[in-house]
Structure 1
Amino acid sequence: MPPYSSAPVRGVPAGSPGALSASAKRTIAGLSLWWPASPLAFVLSTVVGLSSRDRGPFWEVASAVLLWSGIGGVVVAPAVGLLIAFRLRQRPARRRFAIMGAVSLVVCALALLFWEFAMECAPGQAC
């Protein structure tokens, strides 16, 4: 009889690098979903912030929470996801988070460039 078994493999052993715990899968999925939801958080933050000036402090806090959630989704989600994917040796997740980080960097650079041009003085005005 050969030293190996011809029985089908039912799953990956728990100690191997390919095995992912359920919490790691949920974390990768959550970070992957947080990133595309961040523009919605920015838009909601703007809508709530503009309409909350005469409503009360609760809506100002809600606007701030949405704003920081959007910023976290753009900045924190790709960085933490990339670290987790490297640690767990997940090649598809690494690729996904690297692309997410590159897109986030481009969008942030364009937003800063737009902000710089928007803050420029009008002709004839002293700044």
Structure 2
Amino acid sequence: MFNLFGRSRKSNLRPPRAPGDTVRAKDLAYLQKWSASRAGVEGFVEPETIVNEMSVVFVDGTGEWTRRRIGGPKGIDAVFQGTGVPLYFAEETGYPQRMRDRIEKDRIVRERLKQRERRARLEQERER
């Protein structure tokens, strides 16, 4: 079935994939650079969903992380061969605690910065 814009409904449900169902060259280059500059990097493959194509999350020893699309199953092999980072399936293993701790710490830091900015604005308004 086609809609007004000439695209089938089925095609609207699928996320845009990388060429050849594998990782894009620029994404692989980014992951190589990112993992080479950090220690203790592990990768966690995230499954394809209706909204997103398959992706990988790299997490370093401190919990800092980055995410890139890898297209499809062929991308898993390409990422491993291109970076040498051990890969796990996030659905099976979950994400490491150090990543969750880092996300929470970063959230707290952002909230504190917002509070400081609000206080500074209030003090400036009081001085006027």
- TM-score normalised over the length of structure 2: 0.31
Give the structure with the higher percent helix: 1
Give the structure with the higher percent strand: 2
Report the structure number with the largest CA radius of gyration: 1
